[in-house]
Structure 1
Amino acid sequence: MEQAAADNAGIAGTGVTLLCFASGATDVLSYLTLGHVFTSAMTGCMALFCLTLINRKFAAASRAGASLLSYAVGSAAATLLQPRDPAKVRTLPVVRRLLLAETLSLAVYCTVSLLVDHPFAGAARYGLIVLSATAMGIQAVAARDIHERGIITVVLNITITSVVIALTRRLTNRGLAHLPAHNRLQGIVILGYAAGALASAGAFVSGFASPGLLPLAAVLLTLIMFTISGVQHA
């Protein structure tokens, strides 16, 4: 029983880390190719929206606004894909459904990005913003369902704060004999985000034809893992 619980926790932790990798890769990719906008980190996107709006850079503001709105639509769509009964939300079929929806959104994104001319502009750029931000909105809901502690994969402020608090308490002997498993996982997902960002930046700089395949591969791997593992969440 203990081994089954450990396996379950390990798979859930791996899942949210892969999704965090996808977020890091997506933020770098969207910033570099979609007109200096974020499609995963909505805090940064909101700041960009306000900054560009106040400076009357309406084209840039419209891109940030499109990202914010699409992310919200993705989160709403993911919520509608969940059962009405809250007790049935965190189940394996629901997690698979959400990951499949995100995978399809990212697959369409990759297809469009390969078919249109670079650098992206006009309707193609806005379409890619919508697809990417919608996928990240779905992912935010899916990640909450994967792990019972609701690991956040698209906004790291809270996660970083939690890790810093736990480390400070541990190192200064303020009631923590060891770093809790949840905080250790938070540290791992932060590294997952950084790895995704580095991989995406490296792919872009090296001229890789479709860096968008990186987040798609991470989410698809998560979907496959939860399809063959049979676990629910940790």
Structure 2
Amino acid sequence: MSAGQHNVGAGAAVTLMCLTSGATDVLSYLTLGHIFTSSMTGVMALLIIALAVGKRPTAIRAGISIASYLVGGALAAMLRRPKHAPDSARRSVRRLLIVEALLLAVYCVIAASAPHPVTGALRDILIVLSAMTMGIQSVAARQTHEQGITTVVLNTTMTSIVVALTERGPGRRSKPLSAHFGLKIIAIAGYVTGAAVVAAALVNHWFAADLVPLAATCVALTLYLRRSEG
């Protein structure tokens, strides 16, 4: 497999990770008690608001989400291969996506067997699993070397897009937009697509909504498995 094909595969995998994040944010907010498990900026704001107005249950769920995300990130840091190991970045992403997919599969099994709406301890377990997967994915995305693209928070990506476009205004001299700029646009489109698909699925009461993050992660993993064979 050529270097160009490798780059396309990595870009597609990053876009699928963004799709997973968009799907997860909508899924967690609408089914797990109005809590985000991907956007830690959002859930931190929810935690502060809940503490300010005395909404203890919301504050607890937000705290569980943040703590689980951090645990997932720590677990991913321990699982990734040493930087000096051969092909460490690609192998790390593959390993982390496998763990993420396994946790998402467990999430789907529990969600399928749980009463709806999910409440109590089962909801807390689902928050833990969902947030852990996003913590793992955030580390996996850093291993792809797609600089300027984060899959769980899009602020940096959106800012870099605005800056790049502004620098190409009238009277300014700059290099032509690169393929990497296009990937940033596609990554945001992936997030929006994941969010829209899950929102539509939940409106129609489809169990398929729970499967969207797992499906996107499995496709991303398949791309990395194919890259390792090339």
TM-score range, shorter chain: over 0.9
Partner residue of 2:47? 49
Using the TM superposition, give the Cα deviation of residue 224 of structure 1 relative to its aligned residue in structure 2, in angstroms: 1.2
Q: Deviations over 1:50-105 (max 9, x none)?
A: 0111111010011111000100000000000023x333384332221100000011
How many residues were matched structurally? 229
Using the TM superposition, give the Cα deviation of residue 150 of structure 1 relative to its aligned residue in structure 2, in angstroms: 6.1
Using the TM superposition, give the Cα deviation of residue 209 of structure 1 relative to its aligned residue in structure 2, in angstroms: 1.9
Using the TM superposition, give the Cα deviation of residue 147 of structure 1 relative to its aligned residue in structure 2, in angstroms: 2.9
Partner of 1:43: helix, strand, or coil? helix
Distance in 2, matches of 1:100 and 1:150, equals 24
Using the TM superposition, give the Cα deviation of residue 168 of structure 1 relative to its aligned residue in structure 2, in angstroms: 1.2
| 2:84 matches 1:87 | yes
Using the TM superposition, give the Cα deviation of residue 212 of structure 1 relative to its aligned residue in structure 2, in angstroms: 1.2
Partner of 2:24: helix, strand, or coil? helix
Distance in 2, matches of 1:231 and 1:146, equals 17
Partner of 2:173: helix, strand, or coil? coil
Q: Deviations over 1:159-184 (max 9, x none)?
A: 10000100111233433242122222
Partner residue of 2:207? 209
Distance in 1, matches of 2:57 and 2:170, equals 49
Aligned CA RMSD, in angstroms, stands at 1.7
Partner of 1:146: helix, strand, or coil? coil
8 Å CA contact 1:98, 1:142 repeated in 2: yes
Using the TM superposition, give the Cα deviation of residue 149 of structure 1 relative to its aligned residue in structure 2, in angstroms: 2.2
Distance in 2, matches of 1:133 and 1:27, equals 10
Distance in 2, matches of 1:13 and 1:7, equals 10
Taking a change above 3 Å as real, the CA distance of residues 206 and 29 of structure 1, as seen in their structure-2 partners, is same
8 Å CA contact 2:27, 2:198 repeated in 1: yes
1:8 aligned residue (6, 22, 44): 6
Distance in 1, matches of 2:190 and 2:171, equals 28
Letter matched to residue 98 of structure 1: L
Taking a change above 3 Å as real, the CA distance of residues 177 and 76 of structure 1, as seen in their structure-2 partners, is same
Letter matched to residue 196 of structure 2: L
What aligned pairs does 1:29-68 form with structure 2 within 5 A after superposition? Answer: 29-68=27-66
8 Å CA contact 1:90, 1:146 repeated in 2: no
Using the TM superposition, give the Cα deviation of residue 187 of structure 1 relative to its aligned residue in structure 2, in angstroms: 1.2
Distance in 2, matches of 1:97 and 1:54, equals 40
What aligned pairs does 1:1-234 form with structure 2 within 5 A after superposition? Answer: 4-83=2-81, 85-88=82-85, 90-149=88-147, 151-230=149-228
TM-score, normalised by the number of residues in structure 2 = 0.94
8 Å CA contact 1:19, 1:219 repeated in 2: yes
8 Å CA contact 1:52, 1:58 repeated in 2: yes
Structure 2: gaps spanning 5 or more residues: none
Taking a change above 3 Å as real, the CA distance of residues 97 and 229 of structure 1, as seen in their structure-2 partners, is same
Taking a change above 3 Å as real, the CA distance of residues 226 and 173 of structure 1, as seen in their structure-2 partners, is farther
Distance in 2, matches of 1:125 and 1:172, equals 53
Structure 1: gaps spanning 5 or more residues: none
Distance in 2, matches of 1:194 and 1:117, equals 28
